[in-house]
Amino acid sequence: MDADRSSIEIKVLLKNLDPTKNSIKHKDRLRRLNKFRNFVTARPPPEFYDDDYGLLLLGSESPAAMEDEDLANMTLYGMLRAAGCPSTDHKDSLKRSARPAISLLRYLCLEFDQNTASSKNLFLGELNGFGQALCALNVPQLRTLRLDIHIGKGDNES
């Protein structure tokens, strides 16, 4: 599949992850996450532009979104924020849609495109574009993922 379609799918996903919009409910976020997972697991796997990796992870906060006039006018809720979105009902908990978001993120960074010729690169320690983009983020950007809550703190001092 061509990279233009992938860019469109990313934008549609990110527009529908925003929990601040009252019109977007939990089931809508889940439906959109599942639809995107189905899109990326298709064979042959879709292609992505280099800017798409950061856009998917950071949404409106990505360099690609800030530099593009069309994207600058959109509110795009990145996968990191979606996976680390705090619950409005429970203290120190995440939204119910955070688990499927981090599951999709894990798939994209570690398993996406594994059955192609590039899968040998993962064996050699090379990451795909999503994994590389995640590793290139700075600490404040990574903190939006709220990994401490996903994996549990283990003690009260973490």
Pairwise CA distance, residues 77 & 11, whole Å: 9
Phi then psi dihedrals of residue 61, to 5 deg: -85, 0
CA distances (Å), origin 9, targets 62, 141, 143: 17, 23, 25
Confidence band for 31, pLDDT divided at 50, 70 and 90: very high
* Segment 123-150, tens digit of pLDDT: 556 789 999 999 999 999 998 888 777 7
At residue 75, the pLDDT reads 83
Pairwise CA distance, residues 54 & 147, whole Å: 19
* Segment 39-80, tens digit of pLDDT: 999 988 999 999 999 999 999 888 888 888 777 777 888 999
pLDDT higher than 60, residue 18: yes
pLDDT higher than 70, residue 13: yes
The CA radius of gyration of the chain, in Å to the nearest whole number, is 16
Residue with tokens 């799918």: 9
At residue 123, the pLDDT reads 57
CA distances (Å), origin 62, targets 7, 53, 54, 68: 14, 9, 6, 10
Confidence band for 115, pLDDT divided at 50, 70 and 90: low
pLDDT higher than 70, residue 156: no
**Residues 39 and 19 sit within 8 Å (Cβ to Cβ):** no
